[in-house]
Structure 1
């Protein structure tokens, strides 16, 4: 059997941790189940992470960066309506392709697992999204709502659809994503 690269092994550990958290919750995570799920030796975990908490934090920050990148990849778009639409569909590409990762991000954020310096990074992602939404408020495209509320209105349907996808084992249908955006747009657009 071919030996896995360090990156492949880390990805297996990441996937095992995410699955474990989504299925059993953060407080139930233990290294033995992660190792068993990833099909690696117990010592392998400590090549990549200091301990379970370090694993949770590092993987959260990695996934958060990937998620943020999906949402903001069209940040140079100058038309605010198109920008928000691209942000939505970027978010949903991530949610549709990686619903477990999306739920992991939600569960880990709620558990407040980050060290202060990591929290600054995570908060920076939220501030960046808020600034992009603020552009839409400032130019009159979006309703004059707090960017936090705008984010909530945009993310809440994604969370529900991701949970449904994980529970059903099926991807979110593309027409449903488009229909949900049209309905959300009615609640956030400046009319």
Structure 2
């Protein structure tokens, strides 16, 4: 891992544990083990590190969701998209915490959130196609994306609860419930 990646990973670990405000640049430098000059070579300040981290993770979310999507079958596409995001969050708990606590935080400026929307263009196009083909209800696509995301997040939270053993049938039930919520009457 290169030094820039180490700084980003350390920042992710720190802010998911203690929040953005409680994470200082000096702590990032100290915990990463990267020299001051090296950090400042890559980033001007803590905000620039957080901006790059936010954009990087947002791009990951958008890319992961649309990975290995088959052509011309909205239901299969939906199922794979759902599994892709669920598996990503289960296997990347820091990314999950970041998406829940940090990415939706008022500490992330709206201008950065707007810039990151570009990484969801394929997801938006998927919902637009479903609306155009009269498979999905004609809702705002941003609302649809957020509801899709929220359904996955809810099941990840159940999975994280040690008292609940999620089986494949439960995941498939959640996907089916989610899918039916988008379908036209």
Following TM superposition, by how much is the alpha carbon of 1:131 offset from its aligned partner in structure 2, in angstroms? 2.0
Which residue in the other structure is 1:181 paired with? 175
Secondary structure of the 1:178 match is: helix
Q: Distance in 1 between matches of 2:28 and 2:38?
A: 11
Partners of 2:159 and 2:166 within 8 A in 1: no
2:155 equivalent to 1:142:
no
Q: Distance in 1 between matches of 2:22 and 2:119?
A: 28
Partners of 1:81 and 1:141 within 8 A in 2: no
Which residue in the other structure is 1:3 paired with? none
Q: Which moved more, 1:13-22 or 1:76-85?
A: 76-85
Which residue in the other structure is 1:131 paired with? 125
Secondary structure of the 1:141 match is: coil
Q: Distance in 1 between matches of 2:158 and 2:21?
A: 22
CA RMSD, aligned part only? 3.0
Which residue in the other structure is 2:145 paired with? 151
TM-score (structure 2 length as normaliser)? 0.79
Which residue in the other structure is 2:53 paired with? 59
Which residue in the other structure is 1:96 paired with? 90
Q: Distance in 2 between matches of 1:190 and 1:146?
A: 14
Q: 1:79 to 1:102 in 2, by over 3 A?
A: same
Partners of 2:8 and 2:53 within 8 A in 1: yes
Following TM superposition, by how much is the alpha carbon of 1:112 offset from its aligned partner in structure 2, in angstroms? 5.4
Unaligned 5+ segments in structure 2 are: none
- Of residues 108, 113, 116 in structure 1, which corresponds to 2:108? 113
Q: 1:107-144: CA deviations, max 9, x gaps?
A: 1343353585x555412233442221111122132233
Q: Which moved more, 1:103-112 or 1:7-16?
A: 103-112
Q: 1:63 to 1:142 in 2, by over 3 A?
A: same
Secondary structure of the 1:70 match is: helix
Q: Which moved more, 1:88-97 or 1:48-57?
A: 88-97
Partners of 2:65 and 2:81 within 8 A in 1: yes
Unaligned 5+ segments in structure 1 are: 1-6
Spell out structure 1 runs of 4+ moving beyond 4 A: 161-168
Q: 1:177 to 1:105 in 2, by over 3 A?
A: same
TM-score (structure 1 length as normaliser)? 0.77
